């Protein structure tokens, strides 16, 4: 068997081994076509079955109500930062943005380019270095907002919404690129959810989006065709050639997620991983110095901490790599260590990391 490392990269990130092995087995002859799925027409019945299964699995795993459309889009989360306000903020509409990190701020900046003063910041923790999320009493939603935008998980700074903001019935719009499907949740309060696939769902090049039908009806038709949610919905995400291989791997990942018991099992695994890693950090608070200031805001997907010196940070990353663990160097703006524990990272792999951390602390503290 090919040697595999333990992959803690923040994205593109680890994928479930069974999903990859399925792709490996089918790579040269998919469904007895004599071709790879990458070579088949996106109009062929063999690919269409994959496309439909991927959409059906999204709906099944999240218990998506019938008044939502599932879209399979391109352009990454960055394009969605612009597509959302382009589609919704017309005819005098306005929107509220909650700024909890770099990606939430980028979404707001794109909305400002598109809609100017119609995009408003209603809460931010930037002055505190995004070390926590805004408390409910700090969030004041404007009653005329068409939506309230959030980023559900802060990949860089390591915070995560466990309870979504109460918007008084105004639709939420959420970038869930780094924690989509880490647990079951109620999609009904959301007008739009979008998630780049490259962290929890599959390879890069694909965005999975859920859009509520009443929100879809609000969308502009005075845009280039590729930027209209209505056109993608009408064409079942086949308006143009889709990223077929990325959608195929998405199907494999979601089918595997279903086979192991769905999102309840995945959530239990994620919470166990968080318990293990944060438990180690909390046992050595002077050595493993966590970045997030409010424990209840700590992410189950991305965990940031610093050691007492940059030299120890570098030694930690180097020794971990020698022990088969990669992707632990912190984000360039923060330094230190970042551990990304997306769904495909196993409890056993986090146990291996924690055992290394305990040994490293014993030798260097």
In angstroms, the first-to-last Cα distance of the chain is 37
Beta strand 325-326 with 302-306 is: unpaired
Which residue in 69, 161, 179, 199 is the catalytic one? 199
Which residue in 69, 96, 103, 329 is the catalytic one? 103
Q: Is residue 96 annotated as a catalytic residue, yes or no?
A: no
Which residue in 69, 96, 161, 175 is the catalytic one? 175
Q: Is residue 103 annotated as a catalytic residue, yes or no?
A: yes
Distances (CA, A) of 231 to 115, 217, 224: 22, 11, 10
Residue 28, exposed/middle/buried by CB under 10 A (0-12, 13-18, 19+)?
exposed
CB 182 within 8 A of CB 173: no
Torsion of CA 292, 192, 190, 175, to 10 degrees: 0
Dist CA 256 CA 118 (whole Å): 42
Residues 6 or more apart from 259 whose CB is under 8 A from it?
Answer: 18
Q: Is residue 161 annotated as a catalytic residue, yes or no?
A: no
| Omega before residue 6 within 30° of 0, cis | no
Instruction: Encode 298-323: b = buried (16+ Cβ within 10 Å), e = exposed.
Output: bbbbbbbbbbeeeebbeebbebbeeb
User: What does the block give as tokens for 173?
Assistant: 């719009």
Residue with tokens 């040697």: 3
3-class DSSP state of 196: strand
3-class DSSP state of 145: strand
CB 295 within 8 A of CB 274: no
| Catalytically active residues, by annotation | 103, 175, 199
């Amino acid at each position: 068997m090919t040697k595999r490392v333990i992959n803690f990269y923040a994205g593109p990130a680890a994928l479930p081994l069974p999903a990859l092995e399925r792709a490996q087995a089918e790579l040269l002859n998919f469904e007895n076509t004599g071709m790879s799925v990458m070579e088949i027409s996106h109009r062929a019945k063999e690919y269409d079955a994959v496309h439909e299964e991927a959409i059906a699995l999204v709906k099944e795993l999240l218990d998506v109500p019938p008044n939502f459309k599932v879209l399979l889009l391109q352009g990454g989360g960055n394009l969605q930062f612009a597509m959302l306000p382009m589609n919704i903020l017309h005819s005098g509409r306005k929107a509220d943005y909650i700024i909890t990190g770099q990606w939430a701020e980028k979404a707001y900046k794109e909305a400002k380019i598109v809609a100017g003063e119609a995009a408003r910041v209603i809460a931010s923790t930037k002055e505190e270095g995004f070390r926590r999320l805004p408390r409910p009493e700090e969030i004041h939603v404007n009653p005329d907002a068409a939506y309230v935008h959030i980023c559900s998980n802060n990949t860089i700074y390591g915070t995560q919404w466990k309870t979504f903001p109460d918007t008084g019935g105004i639709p939420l719009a959420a970038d869930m690129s780094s924690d989509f499907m880490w647990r079951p949740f109620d999609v009904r309060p959301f007008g739009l959810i979008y998630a780049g696939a490259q962290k929890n769902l599959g390879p890069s090049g694909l965005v999975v989006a859920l859009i509520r039908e009443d929100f879809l009806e609000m969308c502009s038709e005075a845009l280039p065709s590729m930027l209209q949610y209505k056109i993608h919905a009408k064409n079942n995400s086949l308006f143009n050639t889709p990223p077929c291989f990325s959608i195929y791997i998405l199907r494999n990942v979601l089918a595997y997620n279903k086979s192991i018991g769905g999102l309840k099992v995945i959530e239990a695994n994620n919470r166990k991983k968080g318990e293990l890693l944060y438990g180690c950090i909390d046992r050595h608070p002077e050595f493993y110095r966590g970045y997030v200031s409010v424990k209840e805001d700590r992410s189950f997907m991305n965990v940031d901490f610093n050691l007492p010196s940059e030299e120890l940070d570098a030694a930690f990353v180097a020794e971990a790599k020698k022990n088969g663990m990669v992707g632990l160097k912190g984000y360039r703006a923060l330094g230190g260590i970042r551990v990304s524990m997306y769904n495909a990272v196993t409890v056993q792999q986090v146990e291996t990391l924690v055992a290394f951390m305990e040994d490293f602390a014993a030798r260097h503290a």
